Chain A
Amino acid sequence: MKRVVVTGLGVVSPIGQTIPVFWSSLQEGRCGIGPITGIPTERLGVKIAAEIASFRPTDHFEPRRLGMLDRVSQFAVVAAREAVRQSGAPFADGLGERTATIVGSGVGGMSTLDDSFHKLYAENAARVHPFTIPRLMANAPASHITMDLRLTGPTFVIASACASATHAIGQAFQMVRTGMVEAAVAGGAEACITIGGMKGWEAMRVLSNEACRPFSRNRNGLSLGEGAAMLVLESLEAARARGAEILAEIVGCGMSADARDITAPDVGGAARAITGALADAGLAPDDIDYINAHGTGTTANDQTETAAIRKAFGASADRLAVSSSKSMFGHALGAAGALELAATVLALRHGVVPPTINYTDPDPLCDLDYVPNQARQQTIRAALSNSFAFGGLNAVLAVKRFDG
């Protein structure tokens, strides 16, 4: 089994479209959730989300190429380019053939679907654009990354709703660890802030109308986000051989299914994924200093996640720092796990725990240290990133500071 390290990170998020901006926003506790500007809001009951309002596709793509790219694929490619650039790995010199591209996405090309069906049903159009299918298919973000960066190894998209990216990175980690591939570009992408997407989430009655307040007693729902994050994973030996800068080591992955309810989270299922990640990593609860929580800001998730952490960590839970980055960049669904693993790697590397913002009212049912409102300087030896999806599908990654 090979040791697997992260050598590149890339991100397109509501709080930063490059890693340096993303990281300074996380440290400052900047909130990327606000009034929706990208779509008409007259028919929406909930008018806030974490949009990447300033994202300009033409800064990144030629007009002809853009015709083929749904917003979700644009985010995926831009994030992958940054990660690959940072890694400096020789993808163009043969490594691309031995590189996997594994991307998580909850739904794929939602804006293409929304726009095309609107034309068909509301405007009575006789036909839709010929690129409708290649734009909306869920595998498009992964395919476009391979074409953009000439990566010709095993490539696919994983869909497990809000855990998609974590499952994707977990899968890529296994592929590098077993030697099936030499490197991987892995992460997640999502772009669901469309009228159809918002109305669907609104109908679930889980969106907040005012702010995302994970773990705070006055929390009243999640805020939808969008974006992408990608990581370059390599074997430690390959990274060392070429003198690459190593950002962190991925040491374990745990996955489970609740097999209970399609939307309600489950303490047992979540705890099994956490315990599985620790066991896979060969770490004890006391080795973990930080958990980047799933922390959606719904009543059910935050209370269940707290109980799951307590169940998996026992008495060690009280010495953990736990924070929700969704309080800042919203819930990016299939991209969430990748944005959060990127935040976790940066936290490890810089020795700073990003805060849970909008935390104003302690909840007796959420009784861990949530790093309220202010980032904290702290050495982090190892950390977990939790993702617990609708459908009861859970995935947790364990990462370690790399000290040589």
Chain B
Amino acid sequence: MGMAELAEAVIDIIAAKTSVDRAKLEPTARLADLEIASLDVVEIVFALEEKFDIQIPFNANTSQVEFETVGDVIKAVQKVIDEKAA
């Protein structure tokens, strides 16, 4: 899967799990600004793990640091998939 394709897939999941307009899910958009709460992020991470059959090392207690933007989520998924392939 190419990077653009992966980003689209991640954004699809975020859009499906929240009621945020897909057009607003730019990589630079901040999750807090989109009113995506921490429990939403937990559910998004779960959906990503199920879809890509991966384990994302994510602790809700440090989520503010790890996942500030939509792009951070895409990067985290990319990283785990790359590690899995290596």
Interface residues of A (CB under 8 A from B): 45, 203-206, 208-209, 219-221, 261-264, 298-300
Known: A220-B61, A299-B61. 13 other contacts (CB 8 A): A203-B42, A203-B46, A204-B60, A205-B59, A205-B60, A205-B63, A206-B59, A206-B61, A208-B59, A209-B59, A220-B62, A263-B39, A264-B38
Q: Are B61 and A264 in contact (CB under 8 A)?
A: no
Q: Are A300 and B38 in contact (CB under 8 A)?
A: yes
Q: Are B37 and A264 in contact (CB under 8 A)?
A: yes
B residues less than 8 Å from A220 (CB atoms): 59, 61-62
Q: How far is the CA of A358 from the CA of B12 in the complex (A)?
A: 41
B residues less than 8 Å from A261 (CB atoms): 37, 39
B58 within 8 A of A: yes
Q: How far is the CA of A192 from the CA of B62 in the complex (A)?
A: 25
Interface residues of B (CB under 8 A from A): 37-39, 42, 45-46, 55, 58-64
**CB closest residue in chain B, given A220:** B61
**CB closest residue in chain B, given A45:** B55
Instruction: Report B51 CB to chain A, min CB distance, Å.
Output: 16
Question: Can you identify 16 A-B contacts, CB atoms within 8 angstroms?
Answer: A203-B42, A205-B42, A205-B45, A206-B61, A208-B61, A209-B59, A219-B61, A220-B59, A221-B61, A261-B37, A263-B38, A264-B37, A264-B39, A298-B60, A299-B60, A299-B62
**CB closest residue in chain A, given B58:** A205
Q: How far is the CA of A119 from the CA of B39 in the complex (A)?
A: 32
A residues less than 8 Å from B46 (CB atoms): 203
A262 touches which one: B39, B58, B62, B64 (CB < 8 A)?
B39
A residues less than 8 Å from B62 (CB atoms): 220, 299
Instruction: Report B67 CB to chain A, min CB distance, Å.
Output: 11
B residues less than 8 Å from A219 (CB atoms): 61
Q: Are B60 and A206 in contact (CB under 8 A)?
A: yes
**CB closest residue in chain B, given A263:** B39
**Interface SS, A side:** loop
Instruction: Report A4 CB to chain B, min CB distance, Å.
Output: 38
Which 7 residue pairs are nearest across A and B when measured between Cβ atoms? Answer: A205-B60, A299-B61, A221-B61, A220-B61, A205-B42, A263-B39, A206-B60
A residues less than 8 Å from B60 (CB atoms): 204-206, 221, 298-299
A204 touches which one: B37, B42, B55 (CB < 8 A)?
B42
A residues less than 8 Å from B64 (CB atoms): 299
Q: How far is the CA of A261 from the CA of B42 in the complex (A)?
A: 15
Q: How far is the CA of A219 from the CA of B38 in the complex (A)?
A: 17
B residues less than 8 Å from A206 (CB atoms): 59-61
Instruction: Report A202 CB to chain B, min CB distance, Å.
Output: 10
Q: How far is the CA of A205 from the CA of B38 in the complex (A)?
A: 10
Q: How far is the CA of A344 from the CA of B71 in the complex (A)?
A: 47
Q: For B38, B42, B61, B64, which residue has the most chain A Cβ atoms within 10 angstroms?
A: B61
B residues less than 8 Å from A300 (CB atoms): 38, 61
**CB closest residue in chain A, given B39:** A263
A residues less than 8 Å from B37 (CB atoms): 261, 264
B residues less than 8 Å from A298 (CB atoms): 60-61
**CB closest residue in chain B, given A205:** B60
A residues less than 8 Å from B61 (CB atoms): 205-206, 208, 219-221, 298-300
A residues less than 8 Å from B59 (CB atoms): 205-206, 208-209, 220-221
Q: How far is the CA of A312 from the CA of B41 in the complex (A)?
A: 31
Instruction: Report B36 CB to chain A, min CB distance, Å.
Output: 13
Instruction: Report B73 CB to chain A, min CB distance, Å.
Output: 14
Q: For B55, B60, B63, which residue has the most chain A Cβ atoms within 10 angstroms?
A: B60
A residues less than 8 Å from B58 (CB atoms): 205
Instruction: Report B50 CB to chain A, min CB distance, Å.
Output: 11
**CB closest residue in chain A, given B65:** A299
**CB closest residue in chain A, given B56:** A205
B residues less than 8 Å from A203 (CB atoms): 42, 46
Instruction: Report B3 CB to chain A, min CB distance, Å.
Output: 26
A residues less than 8 Å from B63 (CB atoms): 205
Instruction: Report B1 CB to chain A, min CB distance, Å.
Output: 25
A residues less than 8 Å from B38 (CB atoms): 263-264, 300
Instruction: Report A217 CB to chain B, min CB distance, Å.
Output: 11
Instruction: Report B31 CB to chain A, min CB distance, Å.
Output: 14
Instruction: Report A91 CB to chain B, min CB distance, Å.
Output: 45
**CB closest residue in chain A, given B55:** A45
B residues less than 8 Å from A263 (CB atoms): 38-39
Instruction: Report A301 CB to chain B, min CB distance, Å.
Output: 10
Instruction: Report A327 CB to chain B, min CB distance, Å.
Output: 15
